[in-house]
Amino acid sequence: MENTILAAVNIVKYFYDPVKVKVLNGVNFSIHRGDFVSIVGKSGCGKSSLLYVLSTMDTDYEGDVLIDGISMQQKKEPYLAKIRNEKIGFVFQFHYLLNEFTVLKNVMLPGLKLHKYSEKEVEARAYDKLKTLGIADLALKNAARLSGGEKQRVAIARALINDPDIIMGDEPTGNLDKKNSELVFDIFKQLSHELNQTMLIVTHDPDFAAKTNRIIRMEDGKIVNEEKNLVG
Amino acid sequence: MNLKLIINIAQSLLVARWRQTLVAAVGVTFGITMFIALLSFMSGLNDLLDGLVVNRTPHIRLYNDIRPRRHQPVTLWPAYQNTYPMISSLKSGNIRQEIYNSGPIIQALQQNKAVLGVAPTITAQVFFNDGTVDINGVINGIDVKAETKLFHFDDYIVAGKATDLNTVPNSIILGIALAQKLVANVGDIVQITTSTGAIFQLKVVGFFQSGLQDFDKAQSYASINTTQKILGKSSLYITDIRVKLYDINQAPALAKSFARIYGVDAEDIQTANSQFETGSFVRSLISYAVGITLLIVAGFGIYNILNMMIYEKMDTIAILKATGFAGRDVKAVFLVIAIAIGLFGGITGLISGFGLSVVINHIPFHTAALPTVKTYPINYNPLFYFIGISFSLITTYLAGWLPARKASKIDPVIIIRGK
Residues contacting B406, CB < 8 A, separation 6+: B307, B310
B22 CA: distance to closest CA in chain A (Å): 17
Distance, CA of A69 to CA of B129 (rounded, Å):
112
On whether residue A21 sits in a domain, the answer given is no
| Selected residue of B5, B11, B319 to mutate for chain A interface (largest A Cβ count, 10 A) | B319
> What residues have CB less than 8 Å from B226, skipping those under 6 apart?
B141, B165, B169, B170, B171, B172, B202
Q: Is B326 on the interface with A (CB under 8 A)?
A: yes
CB pairs under 8 A between A and B: 82
Nearest-CA distance A117 → chain B (Å): 13
* Residue A82 with chain B: CB contacts under 8 Å: 324, 326
At B243, give phi and psi (nearest 5°).
Answer: -115, 135
Domain-by-domain residue ranges, chain B?
Answer: 3-54+276-418, 60-68+94-272
Report the chain B residue with the minimal C-alpha distance to residue A44.
B417
**Which residues on A lie below 8 Å from B14 (Cβ)?**
none
Smallest CA–CA separation between B345 and chain A, in Å? 23
Residue B15 contacts A, CB cutoff 8 Å:
yes
User: Which CB contacts under 8 angstroms, 24+ apart, belong to B17-21?
Assistant: B17/B309, B17/B312, B20/B305, B20/B308, B20/B309, B21/B305, B21/B337, B21/B341
Q: Do A170 and B416 touch (CB under 8 A)?
A: yes
Q: Which amino acid is at A144?
A: A
Report CB contact under 8 Å: B323, A112. no
Q: What pLDDT score does A232 carry? A: 47
Q: What is the pTM of this model?
A: 0.72
B415 vs A: CB within 8 A = yes
Min Cα distance A36 → chain B (Å) is 21
Q: In chain A, how many domains are there? A: 1
B321-355 burial, b if ≥16 CB within 10 A, otherwise e?
Answer: bbbbbbbbbbbbbbbbbbbbbbbbbbbbbbebbbe
Partner residue facing B324 (CB), from A81, A95, A101: A81
pLDDT at res. A231 = 54
Check CB contact of B158 with chain A, cutoff 8 Å.
no
Partner-chain contact A97 B319, CB within 8 Å? yes
Please give the torsion angle defined by the CA atoms of residues B192, B194, B198 and B200, in that order, rounded to the nearest 10 degrees. -30
Domain-embedded: residue A94:
yes
Residues of A in contact with B329 (CB under 8 A): 81, 113
Q: Which CATH number do you get for residue A149?
A: 3.40.50.300
Residues A87 and A33: beta-carbon distance below 8 Å: no
Cα separation, A69 vs A216, whole angstroms: 21
Which residue is closest to A86 within chain B, CA to CA?
Answer: B324
B9 touches A: beta carbon within 8 Å = yes
Residue A158: closest CA among A202, A113, A107, A192: A107
Interatomic CA distance for residues B71 and B64, integer angstroms? 16
Residue B371's alpha-carbon distances to B144, B159, B212, B366, in angstroms, are: 19, 11, 12, 8
In a domain, A82, yes or no: yes
Q: Is B329 on the interface with A (CB under 8 A)?
A: yes
DSSP H or E stretch at residue B401: helix B382-409
- Residues of A within 8 A of B328 (CB-CB) are 78
- The helix (H) or strand (E) run that includes residue A4 is strand A4-15
* Confidence label for A230 from pLDDT (cuts 50, 70 and 90): low
Q: How far is CA A6 from CA A9, A92, A166, B381, in A?
A: 10, 19, 8, 65
Q: Residue B1's pLDDT is what?
A: 55
Q: Report the greatest alpha carbon distance in chain B.
A: 109
Q: Which residues contact A140 (CB under 8 A, 6 or more apart)?
A: A102, A103, A104
Q: Tell me the C-alpha distance between B323 and B320, whole Å.
A: 5
Question: Which residues in chain B have Cβ-Cβ distances shorter than 8 Å to A118?
Answer: none
Q: Which residues of A touch B417 (CB under 8 A)?
A: 48, 52
Number of helices (H), then strands (E), belonging to chain A: the values are 7, 10
User: What is the residue range of A88's domain?
Assistant: 36-45+77-228
- Tell me: pLDDT of A30 over 80: yes
Name every residue in A having a CB less than 8 A away from some CB of B: 48, 52, 55, 57-58, 77-78, 81-86, 90, 92-95, 97-101, 105, 109-110, 112-115, 158, 162, 170
In a domain, A121, yes or no: yes
Side-chain-side CA neighbours of residue B245 (13 Å): 17
The Cα of A231 is separated from the nearest Cα of chain B by a number of Å equal to 32
Q: Among partner residues A98, A99, A113, which is closest to B324 by beta-carbon distance?
A: A113
What's the CA gap between B276 and B50, in Å, rounded?
7
Gap from A85 CA to chain B (nearest CA, Å): 4
Confidence of residue A1 (pLDDT cuts 50, 70, 90): very low
Residues of A in contact with B322 (CB under 8 A): 55, 57, 84, 90, 92, 95
> CB-CB: which of B15, B324, B416 is closest to A84?
B324
Q: Would you say residue A19 lies in a domain?
A: no
- Output the tens digit of pLDDT for each of chain B's 419 residues: 578 888 888 888 888 888 888 888 888 888 889 888 988 888 888 888 777 777 778 888 888 888 787 778 888 888 888 888 888 888 887 667 788 888 888 888 888 888 888 999 998 889 998 888 888 999 999 988 888 888 888 888 888 888 888 888 889 999 989 998 888 888 889 999 988 888 889 999 999 888 778 888 889 999 998 998 888 888 888 888 989 888 888 888 888 888 888 888 888 887 777 766 777 788 878 888 887 887 788 778 778 887 888 888 888 888 888 888 888 899 999 899 888 888 998 899 999 999 999 999 999 888 766 666 788 888 898 998 998 888 888 888 888 888 888 888 888 888 877 65
pLDDT tens, residue by residue, A50-89: 988 998 888 888 889 988 888 888 888 889 999 999 899 9
Predicted pLDDT of residue B419: 54
Query: What pLDDT is recorded for position B68?
Result: 80
Range A193-212 average pLDDT: 87
